[in-house]
Amino acid sequence: MKTTRIVIAGGGFAGLYAAMHFDKRLARRADVEVTLISRENFILFTPMLHEVAAGDLFPGDIINPLRRILCHVKVVEADVCTVDLTGRIVGCRGGIAERELNFEFDHLLLTLGSETNFFNMDGVRDWSVTMKSMSDAALLRNRMVALLEEASLEKEEARRKELLTFVTAGGGFAGVEVICAETHGETASAAPAVQLELSALPPSCAPECIPA
């Protein structure tokens, strides 16, 4: 009996929902093999990522292991490197040793997501903290806490103001949510004597970049 191999490359919202559909309809069949390849072994609810950065939520509140959701779909934690459409093979690297992994497919679904668009603004790519992953949120929160603590010890007004100036490049949904979370979240309230100064800038404006 020939096995139909379905590979889903990408474990974000699109990839997960496709995998959930196959998990209910096809993956339990003996003649169908469904594989989900994801950079992480969990799904991250990115719309609430800023609340982790603000200290309002714990990381575990917005992640869910993929294997807990998918009962019949094979989950592989790896980075997709190449796609050979002629040979019908997806090349990946996974594991601590970054071993090479190849997955043959009859049907391929690409749901690899996107990368942050910096709109060609000088310095932003080099100095800014993005808000795409759990490590980004942790980095931003730890950096903010360190700066707030430093500012609480600083006596010189000019230096204190410099430490408390945060610039958000991008005034869309994500930018506004990050600013609101930072100014009213647990991270800011932990230092009540500190006055945060935050600026939301649309992509068309030249940003003020603070090393972070």
Q: From CA 154, how far away is CA 195, in angstroms rounded? A: 13
Q: 67 near 12, Cβ under 8 Å?
A: no
Q: Is 10's pLDDT higher than 90?
A: yes
Q: Is 131's pLDDT higher than 90?
A: no
Rounded to the nearest integer, the mean pLDDT of the chain is 86
**What's phi and psi for 192, nearest 5 deg?**
-65, -25
Span 51-69, mean pLDDT?
93
pTM of the model: 0.81
Bridge partners (DSSP) listed for residue 90: 83, 103
For the chain, the residue count is 212
pLDDT of residue 211: 40
Domain with CATH 3.50.50.60 in the chain: 4-110
pLDDT of residue 204: 42
pLDDT of residue 186: 66
Q: Is 20's pLDDT higher than 70?
A: yes
For residues 191 and 204, the model is more confident at: 191
Q: Is 79's pLDDT higher than 50?
A: yes
Q: From CA 116, how far away is CA 132, in angstroms rounded? A: 8
The beta-strand segments (E) located in 112-210 are: 165-169, 197-201
Q: From CA 63, how far away is CA 71, in angstroms rounded? A: 17
pLDDT of residue 32: 97
Q: Which residues contact 192 (CB under 8 A, 6 or more apart)?
A: none
CATH number of this structure's domain 4-110: 3.50.50.60
Q: Which residues contact 29 (CB under 8 A, 6 or more apart)?
A: none
At residue 102 the predicted structure's pLDDT band, cuts being 50, 70 and 90, is very high
pLDDT of residue 54: 85
pLDDT tens digits along 137-175? 999 889 888 888 898 888 898 998 888 888 888 777 778
For residues 200 and 178, the model is more confident at: 178
pLDDT of residue 190: 61
Span 89-98, mean pLDDT?
97
At residue 90 the predicted structure's pLDDT band, cuts being 50, 70 and 90, is very high
Q: From CA 2, how far away is CA 172, in angstroms rounded? A: 49
Positions annotated as catalytic residues are 177
For residues 189 and 157, the model is more confident at: 157
